Structure 1
């Protein structure tokens, strides 16, 4: 089911996996819309922080060699996380910043949404046209707008980028999180 943590993770990870699989060996060094990050850095981010985060639920996952084969590392990582959301086994993730949450809910709230958002970055880095879904982008901006100062102060997002009043919901989302919707890779 797509309306539960396991289904949402499977859906968003599959979309990101398609992008990862479309990358050539040369693509990994391409710049991304995240300042100072390459396409490879986007993938590293989505593998490294959640593996550390999951230690708060007593989950110890093997380290992965992302540099040697980013696609293989990503696929292994996705399988590892999917196994956890498919069978959370009553585990609770404890984190000083997020409190205690069932592990599948924590993954859903903090990680799956990160895959979704960073798929925009990877698509742009690879020269693809991102499609985050207009309704989902609209809902995300509406949910984040009331806590914008908290989000900006966290350092997670850069300053908002101005966009036209008639910008698409996806462009408004990208701009809200500090990305320039018109960003293109050089070359």
Structure 2
């Protein structure tokens, strides 16, 4: 299988899982607090949609006109994912070089390492905020755990420093202590600064 197809398939699977959670949110739950400090359930979706726009920026593109997250979170996400899938579905666009905060890479690699990797983690945030099943795909947990542990210490410190990648941007919070018998998912969440015990 071509690399482009693997990345596109992984993104599509994760976006489908995120969208399933989106459509299951009740209208009264959008204002519920999330595990991300200062963010509601709606804010989690806003962040994901905004990050889709960030993926388009190095290519001179922007999100297509669509309902806002305030007006229709589901429609906003569907439009944003369509924009990203258009890049992943076009080998020429997918291979275009991008300058990113972690170095040069192709557009598809940028999508894979940023917004695609974000979807399972923020899917957990959304599920936990709205009392849905928050079980992450085991393959995504293993992949993320391996990636986190491969990061150089100085880059991890930067990820944990608020504002290091721009005003208001906080990638990871301080690591949360968990017991040695914690599940792999809980260890991953704790590593990036989430409290696996958090409840709304």
TM-score if structure 1 supplies the norm length? Answer: 0.89
183, 187, 196: which is aligned to 1:168? Answer: 183
Residue in structure 1 matched with residue 60 of structure 2 by the alignment: 58
The aligned counterpart of 1:153 is 158
2:103 is the alignment partner of 1:104: no
Q: CA deviation at 1:93?
A: 4.2
Q: State how far apart, in whole Å, the 1-side matches of 2:8 and 2:100 are.
A: 24
Greater alpha carbon shift after TM alignment, 63-72 vs 127-136: 127-136
User: Aligned pairs, how many?
Assistant: 185
Shift of 1:3: 6.5
What are the within-5 Å matches in structure 2 for residues 7-156 of structure 1? Answer: 7-64=9-66, 65-90=68-93, 91-147=95-151, 148-154=153-159, 155=161, 156=171
Deviation >6 Å, runs of 4+: none
Higher relative contact order (CA 8 A, sep 6+): 1
8 A Cα contact 1:6 1:85, kept in partner: yes
Q: TM-score, normalised by structure 2?
A: 0.84
Matched-pair contact (CA < 8 Å) for 2:64–2:83: no
Structure 1 unaligned residues grouped into runs of 5+ = none
| Aligned residues: CA RMSD | 2.1
Q: 1:40 to 1:89 in 2, by over 3 A?
A: same
Between 1:166-175 and 1:97-106, the stretch displaced more is 97-106
Residue 80 of structure 1 deviates from its aligned partner by: 1.6
Deviations 1:70-118 (A, max 9, x none): 1111111112211211114245242251333221221112110011211
Q: Aligned partners of 2:154, 2:104: CA distance in 1, in Å?
A: 24
